[in-house]
Each structure stands twice: as structure tokens, then as C-alpha cells.
Homo-oligomer: A and B are copies of this chain.
Amino acid sequence: MTRANEAWESLMKAYSVLMKQFNAEDIWGDLTMREYDVLYQLSKCDSPLRMSELNRHVLLSQPALSRMVDRLVERGYLDRCPDPGDRRGVRLTLTPAGRETQRQIGRPHARSVTRALNVLTPQELEQLAVITGKLSQSEE
């Protein structure tokens, strides 16, 4: 087994352990973690996001995302408008309620993340960010 495979397995393990840990916390209200992730991704960009662009940031199939957005629009967290420049596409934005809900959940979640990653030294945090950054840029 190569170093690369060991490293990848270790990364998957860490992801799995921490995801379970975060998921077990009682902070998610009526959202799933995946739904929160969609709100979070949208909260990061002030300009409206295209469906396909959002899909690039979320680990969901295109149809699954399409329907999740359906539900989030239905529940008042998202607005979905036709894109004036490309009539195939849609523009997604957070509603005020969606933004507020994201913040309400984001605050305690950010604290959990900080707590969980505090086992690392500042140098390790920096290294982790750099290394995983390189990994996600290496799309072929």
C-alpha cells in the first residue's frame, strides 16, 4: 500500500469521524447537514449562483440538488429566478429567512469545528489547508 493510499484512507476516516460527530450535535433544527451545506455555499457568494455552479460545490447528483432546491424554495429559504442572460439556467439566492437560518446554525457549528480541530497545532492547521487545497485544485 502506497503512502498516497494511506493518506487518502486517513483523510476519509477523519472526514467520516468528524461528520458523524457534527451530525450528532443538536444544532441543525429542521435542516439536514446537506441542506445546511447548500445554504452555507450560497451564503458565501453575494451574487446569485447558478444551479450547475452550486452543484460543483456540493456532493450531490444534479437531480438530487434540483429537488433539494425545490424543497428549500418551498420552505422559504431560497429564491429561484430565471437567469435573464441564459434562459436555460436559474439564479439562486438566499432569502432573508434563509440567511438568518444559516447564521443561526452556522455559529454553533463553527464553534464545533473549531473545537474538533483544536487538537492540531497552528502549523498543522496551515499545512492541512494548503495540502487539501492542492488536492481540490488538481481536477483534470
Interface residue A126 (Cβ < 8 Å from any Cβ of B): yes
Number of A interface residues in the complex (CB < 8 A): 48
- Give, as a whole number of angstroms, the nearest-CB distance from A113 to chain B: 5
A5→B2 CA distance, assembly (Å): 29
- Give, as a whole number of angstroms, the nearest-CB distance from A55 to chain B: 10
Number of copies: 2
Q: Interface residues, chain A, CB within 8 Å of chain B?
A: 1-8, 10-21, 57-59, 110, 113-114, 116-120, 122, 124-129, 131-140
Q: Can you report 28 residue pairs joining A to B where beta carbons are below 8 Å apart?
A: A1-B110, A2-B114, A3-B126, A4-B113, A4-B117, A4-B118, A4-B125, A5-B113, A5-B114, A6-B129, A7-B126, A7-B128, A8-B113, A10-B132, A10-B136, A14-B133, A14-B135, A15-B15, A17-B135, A17-B139, A18-B135, A20-B59, A116-B138, A119-B135, A120-B134, A124-B127, A124-B134, A128-B132
